[in-house]
Homo-oligomer: A and B are copies of this chain.
Amino acid sequence: MPINYTKIVRSLPSSVPFVGPEAQERELDRIFDARIGANESVFGPSPLAMEEMKKAMNSIWMYGDPENHDLKNAIAKKHNLSSKNILVGEGIDGILGYLVRMFVEQGDNVVTTEGSYPTFNYHVNGYGGILIKANFRNDHENLDELVEKANSCKAKIMYVSNPNNPMGTINNANTIESIIEKLNEETILCLDEAYADFVPENELPKISETNKQVLRMRTFSKAYGMAGARVGYCIGHPDLISSFDKVRNHFGMCRISQIGALVSLEDKDHLNLVIEKVRNSIQKLKNIAKDNGCEVIPTYTNFLAIDCGLDGLFAKKVLDNLVSNGIFVRMPFTSPQNRCIRVSAGTEEDMELFKKFFPIALNEAKRF
């Protein structure tokens, strides 16, 4: 019996951009003792937000506000912008899907970095776009190459994550600002700033909200500790922002998540506490790495790329050993970045476990 999928969909695999830790747990038939692989925030959301979300459970029978009115206003206030500059969506993943849909038709070019965020690539493939990839340069996204490629192929979108995932590196504000000037006018810069809350304000680029070529992605999944709530947002020119209304799932936001995100924004003390806890935990990870003779990549995020000292095959062995010992971590996909494993900030208990099992994993990897 014929099933008449679209041409694009027929060509796609039924793939998952990431295997989740729960799937690994089911396969291993054990629960991870340390969940420090998805750059979630073990320090959780604002206690005030948790309290309000619990109270709001009485209103879960109601659809959320499809306009995200109150949350957009609060986000706008945080950034000193108008709510017309803000789009709220089901995590950055969801927003990236809408963005790609708005700009990418079959055969259109899109520029990104080899080994950068796979879910963006998933969306580009999903709409029939052609991915053109720059390489990392010294574990940083290579902005020069990205712009050169975007300009020469008239890319619809150029994706830059800053700070970068999976390496944790940052490109400095001036460089980002200068590539925007160099970018041809047919390309939208998608600036994924999921980890921006961990970066000092003055190290982030200044981008005018009247710029019609830049969309900045932010999230409540990282520093705000609400990955499970699915709240992301996007900052940009009102024309770009309003066009998401053409394609988005208007009633897609969980009402409880809207409320949680709103209250989170008010609790700056908690945010600062998380940033400090992350800093301490990253310092511990650095010490553990050093104690085991490993270099680390300087990070501006809540995770650390630890150079295991050899190639991707070796790092994969280290990772597999950690995973089999109940430590969930991940690693970059491409060479030479895949000489590293990527470890998220965690609780003191998480760090103790990593301290215990990392040398074991290194030794085991060396033996086999």
Residues of A within 8 A of B (CB): 1-7, 9, 12-18, 20, 22-23, 26, 35, 38, 40-45, 50, 53-54, 57-67, 69, 90-91, 93-94, 97, 101-105, 119, 126, 156, 185-186, 188, 212-213, 221, 225-230, 239-240, 242-243, 245-247, 249-257, 260
A212 to B3, Cβ gap below 8 A? yes
Specify which chain B residues have a CB less than 8 angstroms from the CB of A20 in the assembled complex. Answer: 63, 65-67, 251
A12 to B246, Cβ gap below 8 A? yes
A60 to B50, Cβ gap below 8 A? yes
B17 to A250, Cβ gap below 8 A? yes
Can you give 11 A-B contacts (C-beta < 8 A)?
A: A12-B246, A15-B246, A22-B65, A38-B62, A41-B61, A44-B61, A59-B228, A126-B246, A230-B252, A230-B253, A230-B254
A220 to B255, CA, bound (A): 14
B256 to A229, Cβ gap below 8 A? yes
Q: Which residue on B lies nearest to A58, using beta carbons?
A: B44
With A4-B186, A20-B63 already in contact, 5 other A-B pairs whose C-beta atoms are closer than 8 Å: A14-B243, A23-B65, A53-B256, A61-B228, A230-B252
Q: What is the CB-to-nearest-CB distance from A104 to chain B, in angstroms, rounded to a whole number?
A: 7
Given the known interface contacts A103-B6, A185-B2, the answer about A60 and B225 at a Cβ–Cβ threshold of 8 Å is yes
Q: What is the CB-to-nearest-CB distance from A347 to chain B, in angstroms, rounded to a whole number?
A: 11
B228 to A63, Cβ gap below 8 A? yes
Q: Which residue on B lies nearest to A44, using beta carbons?
A: B61
Specify which chain B residues have a CB less than 8 angstroms from the CB of A186 in the assembled complex. Answer: 2, 4
B251 to A91, Cβ gap below 8 A? yes
Q: Which residue on B lies nearest to A226, using beta carbons?
A: B60
Specify which chain B residues have a CB less than 8 angstroms from the CB of A253 in the assembled complex. Answer: 230
Specify which chain B residues have a CB less than 8 angstroms from the CB of A249 in the assembled complex. Answer: 90-91, 93-94, 97
Specify which chain B residues have a CB less than 8 angstroms from the CB of A104 in the assembled complex. Answer: 6
Specify which chain B residues have a CB less than 8 angstroms from the CB of A38 in the assembled complex. Answer: 62-63
B3 to A240, Cβ gap below 8 A? yes
A229 to B26, CA, bound (A): 25
A188 to B67, CA, bound (A): 32
Specify which chain B residues have a CB less than 8 angstroms from the CB of A26 in the assembled complex. Answer: 69
Specify which chain B residues have a CB less than 8 angstroms from the CB of A260 in the assembled complex. Answer: 60
Q: Which residue on B lies nearest to A222, using beta carbons?
A: B61
Of listed A44, A61, A242, A243, residue having the most chain B CB within 10 A: A61
A228 to B256, Cβ gap below 8 A? yes
A139 to B36, CA, bound (A): 56
Q: Is the interface of A mostly helix, strand, loop or mixed?
A: loop
Of listed A23, A102, A242, residue having the most chain B CB within 10 A: A102
Q: What is the CB-to-nearest-CB distance from A186 to chain B, in angstroms, rounded to a whole number?
A: 5
A42 to B65, Cβ gap below 8 A? no
A91 to B126, Cβ gap below 8 A? no
A212 to B4, CA, bound (A): 11
Q: What is the CB-to-nearest-CB distance from A353 to chain B, in angstroms, rounded to a whole number?
A: 17
B251 to A230, Cβ gap below 8 A? yes
Given the known interface contacts A18-B250, A90-B90, the answer about A57 and B54 at a Cβ–Cβ threshold of 8 Å is yes
Neighbour of A69 across the interface among B17, B23, B230, B257, CB < 8 A: B23
A53 to B12, CA, bound (A): 36
Q: What is the CB-to-nearest-CB distance from A14 to chain B, in angstroms, rounded to a whole number?
A: 4
A186 to B4, CA, bound (A): 6
The 8 closest A-B pairs by CB, nearest first: A228-B255, A14-B245, A22-B65, A12-B246, A254-B254, A60-B228, A61-B225, A63-B227
Specify which chain B residues have a CB less than 8 angstroms from the CB of A61 in the assembled complex. Answer: 40-45, 225-228
